Amino acid sequence: MTGWSCLVTGGGGFLGQRIVHLLVEEKELQEIRVLDKVFRPKVREEFSKLQNKTKLTVLEGDILDEQCLKRACQGISVVIHTASIINVTDITYSEAIINVNVKGTKLLLEACVQASVPIFIHTSSIEVAGPNSYKEIIQNGHEEQHHENTWNFPYPYSKKLAEKAVLAANGWTLKNGGTLYTCALRPMYIYGEGSPFLFDIMNKALKNNGILEDTGKLSIANPVYVGNVAWAHILTLRALRDPKKAPSVQGQFYYISDDTPHQSYDNLNYTLSREWGLSLDSRMSLPLSLKYWIAFLLEIVSFLLSPIYKYQPPFNRHLVTLSNSVFTFTYKKAQRDLGYEPLFSWEEAKQKTTEWIGSLVEQHKETLKTKTQ
């Protein structure tokens, strides 16, 4: 199969950029199209440097714009769909989250059928599987266990519906008579340099005398480095293009983790930032059951106020559960079917992320210096 092309939606984002950087190394790839709503100037500059290896076309457009999607998919061999609104705190803008994550995915699948795109890889989420209760313990979970999120909060609910739509589309007949083959990847919590979540956490800590806020002392998670998630997408693409491997991958979903130690979210934040003098909050936390019921009351207040005012609670039951659960998964199925092995070790991932956090600390110092002059 020679002379193929790939569309990456959400390609200007944290994960999308990494996928594009790895794609340029792929053999016989003629064109990469990168679709996103907005591209920051720095991202455009990065992509222009990659033009020497493969034709790279930057497309600004909305995932809900059918005409835009039709144009983007024309002549494409593979779609990697990373575009989504990632929001685990906001319950007031549920319509936007459902629209982009669910309707946008369905529109893209339809555009693939019309443009006869044979391969569709979907970036799903660990939240499709749960956790549903902080009392439930799942360690080294796997695909055969059929874990399913039961929350109706916008983000996990939207990712569950989107993934179902993608896997249900496996085997659809394309306009040219061919067949659409789909696959979904469920990464754990993704960290790494450029992470919007880590950026917010570190900025809040720097404004709070270097004290990291409590994001989940009781959790045990297995975070995954962004470079390894991007690598899993490349291996999925290769598997789906390989006639021997493809039948075992089509219509499947895979948990994507790596060799990052299983730890609490608080411990991860501290490990990545302690070199720069940041420290954990030593104050006593509220009992978990009390925090859960406070979250429930805040959600009720938000609902009652919704006709006249959009009140976004600082946390909700889903976030409390997510941040305080023992919830880890193995990547053995991806290893077996995709040949997945982490591209970056924990030590490499930690070093790269720590260096980036160091640059944020330096920026903060410069800002403070400018203000005092």
Distance CA 220, CA 241 (A): 36
As given in the structure block, the two tokens for residue 131 are 């956790």
Contacts of 25 (CB under 8 A, 6+ apart): 53
Distance CA 34, CA 23 (A): 11
Task: Classify residue 319 as exposed, middle or buried by CB count within 10 Å of its CB (0-12, 13-18, 19+).
Answer: buried
Selection from 178, 30, 170, 169 nearest residue 116 by Cα: 178
Pairing state between β 78-81 and 55-60: unpaired
CB atoms within 10 A of CB 40: 10
As given in the structure block, the two tokens for residue 344 are 């970056």
As given in the structure block, the two tokens for residue 101 are 């994550």
Residue 255 annotated to the active site: no
CB atoms within 10 A of CB 22: 16
The helix (H) or strand (E) run that includes residue 251 is none
Candidate list 155, 181, 254, 340, residue with the active-site label: 155
As given in the structure block, the two tokens for residue 300 are 């009720």
Q: Tokens 């999925």 identify what position?
A: 236
Question: Which residues on adjacent β-strands are paired with residue 80?
Answer: 8, 121
Q: Which residues belong to the active site?
A: 155
